[in-house]
Amino acid sequence: MALDRNSKPNDLSAFWMPFTANRQFKAKPRMVVAAEGMYYTTSDGRKVLDGTAGLWCCNAGHCRPKIVEAIQSQAAELDYAPAFQMGHPKAFELATRLRDMAPAPLEHVFFTNSGSESVETALKIAIAYQRAIGQGARTRLIGRERGYHGVNFGGISVGGIVNNRKYFGTLLTGVDHLPHTHLPETNAFSRGQPEHGAHLADDLERIVALHGPETIAAVIIEPLAGSTGVLVPPKGYLQRIRDICTKHGIVLIFDEVITGFGRLGAPFASDYFGVMPDMVTCAKGLTNGVIPMGAVLTTSAIHDAFMTGPEHLIELFHGYTYSGNPIASAAGLATLETYREEGLFERAADLSEYWADGLHSLKGLPHVIDIRNLGLIGAVELEPIPGAPTKRAFQAFLDAYEAGALIRTTGDIIALSPPLIIEKSQIDDLFGTLAKVLKGLD
Ligand code: PXG
Ligand code: PLP
């Protein structure tokens, strides 16, 4: 069937859109109807360069043949298999492939359907693990200011983005937060990891002393905070967090929903920074964003602590109807194969200097107060319009879309994270378009 690029829904009212200014969108909709490689096609027939890999998820680019074929044939062969007390081969294959590509200590995989579910799963496993090893008083969870861990109750409780929390009641109890690592006074326009700020990890010692280490189950942080506007960890910070967790018997969870699958030019940020957590949460790039799927990776120490007691009993009372769904598993296998065949993680590493050059060339343009980068991630922070925060960056988003580039904004920060297949000429196009947009802003 030929694709009708002009097809438009005749009613936009029913769909309550997520994280969207609904009334503004519906007054002037931005619809994409097709995608291939680095580009979206809009409903008015324009090509838009994808500067964000969808929402940080299409790391191999769009409509990649191997992934499309895997999904099509899996749907026709085994559409769904019960996830509890039953199995199917591809979920096991994918778990093995993930274990083989993950940092060595992470040997077991629990499947979910999103980053948010991965976070809930990891927090629950951490608390249950502490109980399983006789540390049942360890129920507290420590997150970080400006952290994003999805939108479910556990995730927003440990998260640190005020608008994602304040409308939703009292959240989980027994949660505390580390300070964020955004230090513009000393670190603005750092290229790569900022020099200053490792000492902020020491705040964990204060929190541990305040509550008592024997009450703390886990610390969860993004190794590089993405959603809050790209906060790159200061040099030495992550290792200090690791050391303090080890010293006090606290499980360290790295939320790698954005940083997993090559975004920094290595399979995971844990590899890139050489700092090993006890659990990793991931999603997005696991299936190239094409079918919802997430995963939690754990060490054998954590997994094995549950594998005791009578063998006919369920060891962990947790799971989702779609954990390890066959079509998602097929998409995951084809995605990991595409990353490997095309050497996309290495490609991201090779391109990261060119990317940083292009990004930092925007310094000096109107309203630009900071630029941050690592791997194939970039952020441009704009001076907010007095009395109208977020408006200037949102205008940049609208103007860039009209000018043929898809960017993301959060607050007054523009975040960029292209598919890892981006060509140098497309990096030039992206920053060329962005420079023009920035020059035209009020
Ligand atoms: N943890 C982290 C670190 C994330 O970045 C989630 C959990 C939640 O994943 P799900 O699949 O439940 O959305 C995320 C998701 C943005 C943006 O533009 C970021 C995310 C999602 C959508 C938009 O920064 N991060
Ligand atoms: N709500 C109800 C009434 C259910 O029966 C189920 C699952 O059986 C769920 C929620 C959870 O759904 P899922 O397993 O897709 O997360």
What proportions of the chain, in percent to the nearest 5, are helix, strand and coil? Answer: 40, 20, 45
Question: What value does the mean pLDDT take over residues 336-345?
Answer: 98
**Digit-coded pLDDT (tens) for 172-220:** 999 999 999 999 999 999 999 999 999 999 999 999 999 999 999 999 9
pLDDT interval class at 442 (50, 70, 90): confident
Dihedral angle computed from the Cα positions of residues 262, 263, 265 and 270, in that order, rounded to the nearest 10 degrees: -80
Concatenate the DSSP letters of all residues of 331-361 into one string.
Answer: HHHHHHHHHHHTTHHHHHHHHHHHHHHHHHT
The pairing of strands 216-221 and 294-299 is: unpaired
Return the closest-CA partner of residue 355 out of 403, 419, 413, 286: 419
410 ligand 1 Cβ < 6 A: yes
- Residue 405 in contact with residue 430, Cβ under 8 Å? yes
Concatenate the DSSP letters of all residues of 184-197 into one string.
Answer: HHHHTT-SSS-SS-
**Digit-coded pLDDT (tens) for 257-284:** 999 999 999 999 999 999 999 999 999 9
User: How many Cβ atoms are within 10 Å of 180's Cβ, its own excluded?
Assistant: 17
The closest residue, in CA terms, to atom 6 on ligand 2 is: 321
Longest Cα separation, the chain = 68
Dihedral angle computed from the Cα positions of residues 54, 55, 57 and 59, in that order, rounded to the nearest 10 degrees: 50
Average pLDDT, the chain: 97
Which ligand places an atom closest to the C-alpha of 149? 1
321 ligand 2 Cβ < 6 A: yes
**Digit-coded pLDDT (tens) for 27-53:** 999 999 999 999 999 999 999 999 999
Question: What value does the mean pLDDT take over residues 102-121?
Answer: 98
The closest residue, in CA terms, to atom 21 on ligand 1 is: 55
Question: What value does the mean pLDDT take over residues 157-179?
Answer: 98
Q: Is the pLDDT of residue 9 over 70?
A: yes
Q: What are phi and psi of 5, to 5 degrees?
A: -70, -15
Which ligand places an atom closest to the C-alpha of 289? 1
Question: What value does the mean pLDDT take over residues 337-359?
Answer: 98
Atom of ligand 1 nearest to the CA of 118: 7
pLDDT of residue 6: 58
pLDDT of residue 411: 96
pLDDT of residue 406: 98
Q: Is the pLDDT of residue 10 over 90?
A: no
Dihedral angle computed from the Cα positions of residues 98, 102, 104 and 105, in that order, rounded to the nearest 10 degrees: -90
- Residue 62 in contact with residue 346, Cβ under 8 Å? no
| Ligand 2 centroid distance, CA of 282 (Å) | 21
Return the closest-CA partner of residue 301 out of 145, 135, 424: 135
The closest residue, in CA terms, to atom 2 on ligand 2 is: 321
The closest residue, in CA terms, to atom 8 on ligand 2 is: 321
Q: Is the pLDDT of residue 4 over 60?
A: no
**Digit-coded pLDDT (tens) for 362-380:** 999 999 999 999 999 999 9
Q: What angle do CA 342, 348, 352 make, to 5 degrees?
A: 155
Q: Is the pLDDT of residue 7 over 70?
A: no
Atom of ligand 2 nearest to the CA of 323: 14
| Ligand 2 centroid distance, CA of 268 (Å) | 31
Question: What value does the mean pLDDT take over residues 289-301?
Answer: 98
| Ligand 1 centroid distance, CA of 86 (Å) | 30
Q: Is the pLDDT of residue 2 over 70?
A: no
- Cβ contacts of residue 68 below 8 Å, gap of 6+? none
Counting residues of the chain whose pLDDT is more than 70, the rounded percentage is 98
Query: Which of 317, 318, 321, 323 for mutating ligand 2's site (highest number of atoms within 8 Å of CB)?
Result: 321
CA distance 294 to 122: 11
| Ligand 2 centroid distance, CA of 121 (Å) | 15
Domains of the chain are 22-60+343-440 (3.90.1150.10), 68-341 (3.40.640.10)
Question: What value does the mean pLDDT take over residues 102-118?
Answer: 98
**Digit-coded pLDDT (tens) for 328-337:** 999 999 999 9
226 ligand 1 Cβ < 6 A: yes
| Ligand 1 centroid distance, CA of 4 (Å) | 31
| Ligand 2 centroid distance, CA of 321 (Å) | 7
Extract the runs of DSSP E, i.e. beta strands, from 195-318. 216-221, 251-255, 279-282, 294-299
Q: Is the pLDDT of residue 137 over 80?
A: yes
pLDDT of residue 1: 43
| Ligand 1 centroid distance, CA of 256 (Å) | 10
Instruction: Give the pTM.
Output: 0.96
Query: Quick one: angle between helices 326-341 and 344-360, nearest 10?
Result: 70
320 ligand 2 Cβ < 6 A: yes
Which ligand places an atom closest to the C-alpha of 228? 1
Q: Is the pLDDT of residue 152 over 70?
A: yes
Stretch among 2-6, 79-83, 107-111 having the lowest mean pLDDT = 2-6
